[in-house]
Every structure is written in C-alpha cells, then in structure tokens.
Amino acid sequence: MRADNTVISKSNEKSWSLILIFSSINLNNLSSLIGMIVGIPTIIYAIIKSVLILIDFYYLRRYIKSGFYKSYWIKNNYKELCTEILILKKRFNMVYAKPLYVQKDRYNYQIKIKPFRKSFYLFKGWWMCRKNLIHQGPQLFYFDENLQIFRGQWLAWPRGDESVPRSGEWLIEYITNQENMYLKSYLIKSLHIFLEKLTARRSLIEGIIERHKKFNQDKFIYNDMSFKVRNHCFIPILEQEVTEYFIGYLKDRIRPTDKILDLFAGCGFFSIYLAKKMGCQMIGINDDDTLRDLCYENSKINKTEELTEFRVSRKNRPSSMVEKEERFNYIIAFPPCVQTRDAYQSRKSLYYKRLCSLPIHLEELIFGSQYYVNEDSRLIFVYSKQGYFSLLHSLIELSNWDETNIFKKTFKSGNMEYVIYDLELSRFAKDVLKNGSFYDICIREDGYL
C-alpha cells in the first residue's frame, strides 16, 4: 500500500513539474508569440503598401505634369459650362488641384485623385467644397498620357427636393503655355500691387480728376435724359468720344428682347440709357450702397424702373451678385482703367477708387463673366492701355472667350488711350453649351481641344 502511494506521489510530482515547465514557457514567450503572429503580417502589409505607394509615386512623377490646368465641368440636363484654372500638385501617391480664381464660394473646391493600380490610366477621387463640406462627391477620370487630359464624371448628393444625385462631365486639360503672364504672376499677385505702390509714378488720372472737378454740377443731360451724379462718381460723358462710340456700337447690336449685365455700373448711365432707348432688360452692379441708390434714383427720373435692376456686390467682386441660373445675351462694362502704379499718387482723391484698376477687376470681367452666358453671348467693354493691358490679354487667352476673333477700336483722350473690345465665345465653349456634353466635340489637329 505504501509502495502504491509512493508511485502515485512520484507520478503527481512529474505531472506538476511538466505543467509548471509548460506554464513558464507560455508565460515567458506569450508576448513574443503574439508579436510574431500579429507583427509579421503587419510588416508584410506595410512593405507591400509602401511598394505600391512607391509605384504610384513613380507613375505620377513620370507621366503627369505638375502645373496649371484648365478645368471644364458641366451638369447633366443643364446647358451650363463652369471653367476654372487649376494649379495641380503631386504628393506621393495622390494628385491635388484647386482653382486660382474663385468666382463664388460654391466654386471654391479642391480635388484629390489617385490611380487604380490595375490600370494607371483610370483615376478615382473626391471633390469637395472648401467652405461648405456638404458639397462634395466622388469622381472617376480616364487620363490621356499623350494629351495630358483627364476626362471623367463627377457625382454629388441630391439637393433640396431632388430625388436623384446630381452628376455631370468633367474635363481637365494641361495648359501648354505655362509662361502665360497671369499664371507666372499668380503667386506674387499681392506682392506685385505692394511693389507698384512703392514705385508709383506721376499720376495719369490727374487730368480726369480735374475734368470732374471743373464739371462741378450735380447732374448732366445726355440725349434728353437726365442723370444725377455725386462727388465721387465717374461721369462717362467727360470721356465723350469713347462713350459715344461705345453707346452707338451697343445700340447697333442690342435687341429689345435681350437681357444685359452691366458690370461696374457707376451712376447707371449705360444701363438706364440702353433700357430707355432699346427697351432691353438691364441689371447693373456696383460694390457701393450709395451708387446703387443713385442708380435707382436716375432710373426713376428717366422712367425705366420696370426695365432696370441694380445690385450691390462684395468689394471688387461684381459677378458675386449674379444668380447662378441667370444668363445674359450681352455683358458690358466700363471698369477702372489705370494701373495702380500710374494712379497711386492720387489716392487721396475721392475719384481714386473709381479710376484705379486692380488685377481682380480683370479677373471678374474675363473669368467671372464666363458663368452667366449662353452660346450666343458677347462681352463688350472699354479698357485702356494705361491699365493692366498685357494681363488682360493673358486672361482672355485662358478664358472661354475667343482670343482669335477680337474686335478692337482705339480712342485717345488726353494721356489716356482707350480700347473697345467685343468678344464672342470660343467654338469649343459654344459647342459644349449647345450639346451639353464634351463627348460630341472634335479634337484639334494638334491634339488639343
């Protein structure tokens, strides 16, 4: 009996010793074992992910050009063409783009796209409004390596009582002329105005200011029409030759059924005159409440209240007060015409703001006007060679306005040389607005749109 107990106790001792040995092994190496099980796949995944990112990085660096692109996008079932100039940058395995000129907050967006690895010519991405994250959605692009063009579709969530998502086509084209003056000066735009003020020359607007001071009346008469003015208001008839030709040129083309947008309306002279004489619908825009009130006062005097409407925009942003559904047959303007360097010495004058031109004025005139046109719209305006004349032509080159078919007429007035422009839309823009699609449009012989 005692021998049996001895055998049992020895076997129990062996069992407990084995359990203790295995327990000590598990306790000591459990963390290492878990680390191996979890860590090795994680390391493999990280290596694969890094290799794929490097492949994307290599592809983007080799085949896609950084720089400036022209972006066109349209909405299905709407004859609306939105055009922006994008600055495109590459970051590792992704492409980022955002517009240079933002017409309104709803167009202040950014794009993030990256290639599908099974087909590097297909890109998936996301667009989002930078001010309001409600406005965002997915994108899908096909990239043409030879032409440096992205063609694709965008999608957005339904808005209001809409039952289906909004969608449309999107096309992004590399700008071949990266040396365009507007593109080169974009990054130093604010610095450029500051330098102009530091290097200001003898003022060219002193002559215009003197003519306004000598006028010294609170109203003027033109063709049996009366217009009130105030001490800071630009009076177009003091630049008589160019004003009369401008009015005559407009009267020869405008029909009573036309709807016309007047940017930089001033005292409302052009809007009220054309409404009275031609019977057309006019909308005039200023960035000053007092000028808006003056326009309505002049409209009442000349009995054109039913044909004219005047609005107040953000400072230097006249196109910000145009509704996105509005379309115009003609957009006209007589904006400030003298660059800052040649006007800054007269900055203490009340007329300085009405006569001193800024680059943003030209952006609003050329780029901002693109959003409110139909296929037959025209842009007719007066500008001077003493303004940002080279910049103006750089903007026209980048816009939807046709740079190859510009009517120009030049007038001299004292030390000012005015030019009247008449621009029509490019053939590409007309075709898109007519067809509502990019896919029916021909490619030029050199491969570009």
Q: Give residue-wise pLDDT tens across range 278-294.
A: 999 999 999 889 999 99
| pLDDT bracket for residue 447 (50, 70, 90) | very low
Please give the Cα distance from 216 to 153 (Å, whole number).
59
| pLDDT bracket for residue 71 (50, 70, 90) | very high
- Over residues 365-405, the pLDDT tens digits come to 999 999 889 889 999 999 999 999 999 999 999 999 987 77
Element (H, E) at 137: strand 136-144
| pLDDT bracket for residue 8 (50, 70, 90) | very low
Structure letter (DSSP) for residue 288: -
Question: Does the structure show a pLDDT above 70 at 19?
Answer: no
Pairwise pLDDT comparison (6 vs 247), residue with the higher score? 247
pLDDT at residue 383, rounded to an integer: 93
Question: Does the structure show a pLDDT above 80 at 23?
Answer: no
Torsion of CA 295, 299, 302, 304, to 10 degrees: 150
Question: Does the structure show a pLDDT above 90 at 331?
Answer: yes
Question: What number is the average pLDDT over the span 260-266?
Answer: 94
Question: Does the structure show a pLDDT above 70 at 3?
Answer: no
Question: Does the structure show a pLDDT above 90 at 186?
Answer: no
Please give the Cα distance from 219 to 233 (Å, whole number).
11
Question: Does the structure show a pLDDT above 60 at 313?
Answer: yes
Pairwise pLDDT comparison (99 vs 17), residue with the higher score? 99
Question: Does the structure show a pLDDT above 60 at 15?
Answer: no
Torsion of CA 298, 302, 306, 309, to 10 degrees: -20
- Computed over every residue of the chain, the mean pLDDT equals 83
Contact of 245 with 411, CB cutoff 8 Å: yes
pLDDT at residue 24, rounded to an integer: 52
